[in-house]
Amino acid sequence: MSFFARFAQNRGALIGLIILMTIILMAILAPFLYPDSPWRMVQRPFLSPMEVDGFLLGTDTMGRDVAAGIMHGAWVSLLIGLVSTTVALAIGVPLGAIAGYYGGLIDDGLMRFTEFFQTIPNFALAIVLVAIMQPSVTSIVLAIAIVSWPPVARLVRAEFMSLRHREYVEAARLVGQTNRTIILRQILPNTLSPIIVLASLMVATAILLESALSFLGLGDPNVMSWGYMIGAARTVIRQAWWLSFFPGFAILLTVLALNLVGEGLDDALNPKLSRERS
Amino acid sequence: MLYARLILMRLLKAVVVLFMIVIFNFFLIQMAPGDPAAILAGEAGATDQEFLRQLRERFGLDQPLYVQLWRYVSGIAMLDFGYSYRQQMPVLDLILARLPATLLLTGTAFVLSLALGIVAGSMAAARVKKPSGSLIMALALIFYATPLFWVALMAVVLFSVYLDWLPAYGMYTVGAGLDGFALILDVAKHLVLPATTLALFFMAIYTRMTRASMLEASQQDYVKTARAKGLSPRVIQRRHILRNALLPIITLAGLQAGQMVGGAILTETVFAWPGIGRLMYEALMQRDYNLLLGIFFFSAALVIVFNIITDLVYRLADPRIKEGS
Amino acid sequence: MSEPVLSIRGLTIALPKGADRPYAVEDISYDVERGEIMCVVGESGSGKSMAANALMGLLPKGVRPTAGEVIFDGQDLLTLTEKQHRKLRGLHIGMIFQEPMTALNPLMRVGAQISEVFEAHGKYNGKERQAHALALLEEVGIPQPDKAIRAYPFQLSGGQRQRVMIAMALALEPKLLIADEPTTALDVTTQAQILELIRDLQKRRGMSVMFITHDFGVVAEVASRVCVMRYGQIVELGPAKEVLENPQHEYTRALIEAIPSNIIPEARGGERPAPLLEVKGLNKIFRSKGGLFKAAREVRALDDVSFTLAPGETVGIVGESGSGKSTLGRCVVRLERPDSGTLSLSGTDFTTLTGEELRRQRWRVQMIFQDPYASLNPRTRVGYAIAQGPMANGVSRDEAMKQAGELLDLVGLGAVAVDRFPHEFSGGQRQRIGIARALALNPELIVADEAVSALDVSIQAQILELLEDLKQKLSLSLLFITHDLRVAAQICDYIIVMQHGRIVEQGTAETVFLSPREAYTRELLEAIPGRAHELESA
């Protein structure tokens, strides 16, 4: 069975993929559909959804178009999610690979380091980092990457530890392959599926983290993000609930879609169910 | 005896971790843009040059870096977390005043999420491939994907604004002057929304984990043995599958405790719950870095305490560690 | 003859769609008589356990009986509801399984797990249950039963756990005991004890046993009657003595012959020439790091081990699990580094080489691994997997690939196999690929670590034949590590017996097998299943 056929067997994953495609499309189309800055005040404030034509989701406390904010926010969420996950992988994969492959003191040292980062409460650390570095897309990406690499390192280490003593790896050592070749050609390719699955879930978590930071006022002041929109509308929740509702719902859909896709990838890449039957 | 030794070792490890956090904090202050003295004083209050000079002298900021580090570390060793110029109070007093509220909130949410998560997860595991099982998992997935602060806000809109069932802000009814049982009831009422919204996300995690862990355990050989004995499915599920499946969940719960302290920052902010999370938000708004880093230190300490507790529980639950030699 | 305890008539069990064949078993019929041990024999995939699982109501999901009946106690077990099945299990039919290490709940005390059987069927009150559990543990011969009853499974050895399993299965004196490969995971000496226990209990209680196994040696030890299965069908059925001595079907004959039954090895060679490999005073201690709760533990895996191996010779290292035989092999190929002692290979000291120097010299000693499913990278094409060795040692890719094709031809797979992935091959074929990989570097010595242990007997015979053939053609020097004395007898010139990290006895295969000096060696030889039978017929 082909990869996609296995993926498509999971109906949830297919739905997730469709939602995700839609959000990506939103992010791409935002500059064309709403060429103006989403920060521009375009109407009177507190328009409720569909009250005035052309303002599908109404306007916020300052008269900015909520729909425009949501379209532009999609771009920011996806960008930060992807980039911070990439950075986290770039930290976690090599650390985990080295710790798992070499073991011994190197492993002990690296794992103490990883444990330290795991002990610190993620979100509090992210807040402190962004607050000290001053909010910007870069600082947010860095902070999210710094709090989210430990699970990657642990996963990769565990995979490497179990594969390191697999007979084909020992055979590779015996025929005289170098450690570098063994790590890159023998072991790493066989750890890719769990890493890919984890990465898709990490993008989801990163988006949640970013929205929470923006909600607390730690978003990049130059970009419109969903978390910021909710945070800004918090004080008027009694008068205008929709200002918080729509961006939050957008986050929910995006994160849900990524999780569904992650589960589908897991099914497609690690066919556990077929093993269960035998 | 064994436990005393374990706790001692864990405390030792905790001290090392906290020490590292202190050093980490110190360098964060150095990293921040602007004058460290200004940062310590709180940005806005730092316009007076004479005041700044005094501050520098007082904090030894004119000294070399290692002397500063030593002062900072030894200060914290004496439980001196500095002074919040914004709140005009020592950081430690501020935090200790807010800590009980946070413990109440996170403790309630922790117990709630773990209990409900395990129940829901085992129900889902027993109903694999049935609509009811899929429904539980779909709900768990949705809760898992929902931003915590958004759920909190929506809960305020629904239960407080529209239905007017529960109070949405604070920990007590202000000015009611309640005491005794009435006070407990009042606090409990205020606790419902924040604790539930905080618990939802974690409940989702425990539900998914319990289900996966139970499905895994149900594949084990000893389950087949139990069936061959003629035990009823209920007994097998409870005594053989669930008990074994709970072990990894205890470990996970310890790890998640840290996330829960983080989540409390968001829930406390939305519900104006007077805990250290809310305090952190205030510190953030006022760029009160001294206070911010103090809270950061305490939240890490809280996580360590949670971890030690789960470690002890794990050892109680698994005979292979307890009696292993 | 009285009525059989169990009667299987025309049983057909369907496999789920997508399996490699439509039926697990097809139209099989056999009886288990009162007071007999009925052996169901077959290789993996023969469907030998299917009927047992069906009558216990323990078939995996998606697998279900479609025709036939299984009569026990006057009723057809296939028509029972789950609830009725539950009443039957443990009470009238007991069952034990292959893996004693995982078949007990790790979190429950042994006594509680036995008492559960009484509880499930509403027998006795709490105190009586404990007393009965204790009596059972005594009956199955567990040392210090009063302590064992309070133990957790991890505190018992494999053999003891299997005894606990037996105690549980027999708790309510069932009429029928189903034993599904109960000794496969055990060492030979433990296997012999468990077999004796089962035979003994069967006689004492007069119950019937359905004994499922892949090993004709075990059959010879315990069976009253035998049912041989292949591809879900019965090949031969009859009294054990007749089937063993005069097999009618060629498959049965092949199976019996495939067991390296010739325990008496032929005398080979005379004087041993100058050694290729010289091992002197090798020591290796494994230290588990002490945690907070565990003192650091030391296991002496190798204790002053010395031996030599001559060019063109096959030396067998024989021992049970924990004897240190695998550690010895891993030290020789330098996957482990010995703590002290020397290993020299045609004069070069192999012990102290490290890093780049070791990597350059590695080609000289190669290894054939145990698990054909783990020894090939699932993402690497077979030809490339073989060519990697020469390439790492400076041979060009084209040249190495060409050579890989020739090697695959040599091991009987044909050069066309180069472009295929490991999952396209069966276990035996993969083992051939592993052999080709070991040969690719033209090594001076090959270490084979349990190289045929994971294979079915008929495949085992083919691989041994291939090795024998290659030995002749390429005058290979082989260090052959195995737990199976029958295999060792067939291929080795010289035998080293190990126990607890020490060499107990060494000598030519002939002397070790025919006139063992040490008690442990004799014990091992006596424990070989089916040996008594073979000596009788010899």
Residue A47: inside a domain: no
Instruction: Report CA-CA distances (Å) from C470 to C337, C411, C435, C475.
Output: 29, 8, 10, 7
Across the range C415-437, mean pLDDT stands at 92
| Distance between B220 CA and the closest CA of chain C, angstroms | 7
State the Cα–Cα distance between residues A199 and A202, nearest whole angstrom.
5
Phi, psi dihedral angles at B323 (to 5 degrees): -105, 5
Inter-chain touch C294–B224, beta carbons under 8 Å: no
Is the pLDDT at C62 greater than 70? The verdict is yes
- Looking at residue C510, what is its pLDDT? 86
Question: In what helix (H) or strand (E) does residue B115 lie, and over which residues does it extend?
Answer: helix B91-126
Helix axes C158-170, C188-205, angle to 10 degrees: 20
- Structural domain tally of chain A? 1
DSSP 8-class letter at A184: I
Whether residue A54 is contained in a domain is answered as no
Task: Using CA coordinates, name the residue in chain A closest to B292.
Answer: A128
Which pairing describes strands C37-41 and C314-319: parallel, antiparallel, or unpaired? unpaired
Q: Do B149 and A276 touch (CB under 8 A)?
A: no
Please tell me the distance from the alpha carbon of residue C384 to that of residue B39, in angstroms, as a whole number.
62
C261: which 2 tokens? 């039954």
Confidence at B306, pLDDT banded by 50, 70, 90: confident
pLDDT cut 90: percent of chain B above it: 40
The predicted structure's pLDDT at residue C138: 92
Is residue A59 situated within a structural domain?
A: no
Minimum mean pLDDT range among A173-187, B20-34, B133-147, C324-338: B20-34
- Partners of residue B225 in chain C, C-beta under 8 Å: 97, 103-105, 165, 168
Quote the CA–CA distance of C393 and B119 in Å, as a whole number: 59
List own/partner pairs for B252-255 with CB under 8 A and 24 or more apart.
B252/B205, B252/B206, B252/B209, B253/B110, B253/B114, B253/B206, B253/B310, B254/B306, B254/B307, B254/B309, B254/B310, B254/B311, B254/B314, B255/A118, B255/B307
Residue C192 token pair: 């012999």
**What is the residue extent of each domain of chain B?**
1-80, 93-317
Kind plus residue range of the DSSP H or E element containing B90 = strand B89-90
A190 in contact with C, Cβ within 8 Å: yes
- The three-class DSSP label of residue C37 is strand
Local confidence band at B38 (pLDDT 50, 70, 90 cut-offs)? low
Residues B76, B78, B81, B82: what is their CA dihedral angle, to the nearest 10 degrees?
Answer: -120
The three-state secondary structure class of A115 is: helix
Q: For residue B50, name the pLDDT band (cuts at 50, 70, 90).
A: confident
**Tens digits of pLDDT across chain A (278 residues):** 677 888 888 888 999 999 999 999 999 988 888 887 777 777 777 777 777 777 777 777 777 888 888 889 999 999 999 999 999 999 999 999 999 999 889 999 999 899 888 888 889 999 999 988 889 999 999 999 999 999 999 999 999 999 998 999 999 999 999 999 999 999 999 999 899 989 999 999 999 999 999 999 999 988 889 999 998 888 888 888 888 899 999 999 999 999 999 988 888 887 554 333 32
At C66-122, the pLDDT tens digits run 999 999 988 899 999 888 999 899 999 999 998 888 999 999 999 999 999 999 998
Residue C259 is encoded by which pair of tokens? 């067991």
Q: Which of B31, B128, B153 to mutate to test the interface with A (most CBs of A within 10 A)?
A: B153
Residue C483: phi, psi to the nearest 5?
Answer: -95, -10
Min Cα separation A103/chain B (Å): 21
A163: contact with C, CB 8 A cutoff: no
- In the prediction, which pLDDT does B309 show? 85
Cα–Cα distance measured from residue A232 to residue A241, given in angstroms and rounded to the nearest whole number: 12
The DSSP code sequence of C322-366 is TSSHHHHHHHHTTSS--SEEEEEETTEE-SS--HHHHHHHGGGEE
Note the pLDDT of residue C132.
93
Confidence of residue C261 (pLDDT cuts 50, 70, 90): low
Measured between beta carbons, the chain C residues lying within 8 angstroms of A178 are 359, 392
Tell me the pLDDT band of C463, cut-offs 50, 70 and 90.
Answer: very high
Read off the CATH number of the domain in which A210 is found. 1.10.3720.10
Looking at residue C413, its amino acid is L
Mapped onto helix, strand or coil, the DSSP state of residue C182 is coil
Mean model confidence pLDDT for chain B = 85
* Partners of residue B150 in chain A, C-beta under 8 Å: 230, 244, 248, 251-252
Fold matches, C43-48+85-258 and C277-287+296-537: yes
A7 occurs within a structural domain: yes
Q: Considering only CA atoms, which of B71, B5, B61 is closest in space to residue B38?
A: B61
User: What SS3 state is found at A226?
Assistant: helix
Residue type, position C183, single letter: T
The answer to whether B319 and C107 have CB atoms below 8 angstroms apart is yes
Q: Which amino acid belongs to residue C110?
A: V
CA–CA distance, B277 with B264 (Å, rounded to integer): 6
Q: Which chains touch C (3 or more CB pairs under 8 A)?
A: A, B
Q: Which CATH architecture has domain C43-48+85-258?
A: 3-Layer(aba) Sandwich (3.40)
Rounded Cα gap, residues B314 and A97, in angstroms: 29
The alpha carbon of residue A247 is apart from the nearest alpha carbon of chain B, in Å, by 9
Of residues B6 and C59, the one with the higher pLDDT is C59
Residue A46 lies inside a defined structural domain of this protein: no
For position B163, what pLDDT does the model report? 87
Min Cα distance A108 → chain C (Å) is 12
In this structure, is residue A45 part of a structural domain? no
Q: In A, which residues are within 8 Å of B11 by CB distance?
A: none
Q: How many CA atoms lie within 13 A of C105 on its CB side?
A: 28
A162 interfacial to chain C (CB closer than 8 Å): no
d(CA A85, CA A80): 8
Q: Does the pLDDT value for residue B96 go beyond 50?
A: yes
Tell me which CATH code domain C277-287+296-537 carries. 3.40.50.300
ipTM of the complex: 0.86
> What gap in Å lies between CA C264 and CA C512, rounded to an integer?
10
d(CA C351, CA C343) in angstroms, rounded, equals 5
Greater pLDDT, A46 or C129? C129
Of the candidates C16, C370, C376, which has its C-beta nearest A277's C-beta? C16
Q: How many helices (H) and strands (E) does chain A have?
A: 12, 0
The answer to whether B4 contacts chain C (CB < 8 Å) is: no
Subunits touching A (CB < 8 Å, at least 3 pairs)?
Answer: B, C
Nearest to A189 among C359, C374, C379 (CB): C379
Rounded Cα distance, B282 and B277, in Å: 9
pLDDT computed for residue C292 by the predictor: 47
**C397 has a chain A CB within 8 A of its CB:** no
Can you say whether residue A43 is alpha, beta or left, with left for phi > 0 and alpha for psi between -120 and 50 degrees? beta
Helix or strand or coil: residue C146? helix
Q: What residue spans define the domains of chain C?
A: 43-48+85-258, 277-287+296-537
Bridge partner list, C349: C344
Instruction: Tell if the CB–CB gap between C388 and A177 is shorter than 8 Å.
Output: yes
Share of chain B above pLDDT 70, in %: 91
Shortest Cα distance, chain B CAs vs residue A114, angstroms:
12
pLDDT above 90 for B51: no
Question: What pLDDT does residue A278 have?
Answer: 28
A and C: number of Cβ contacts within 8 A: 64
The CATH architecture to which B93-317 belongs is Orthogonal Bundle (1.10)
Residue A177: domain span:
3-38+64-273
Q: How far apart are CA B320 and CA C153, in angstroms?
A: 9
Per-residue confidence (pLDDT) for residue A273, from 0 to 100: 44
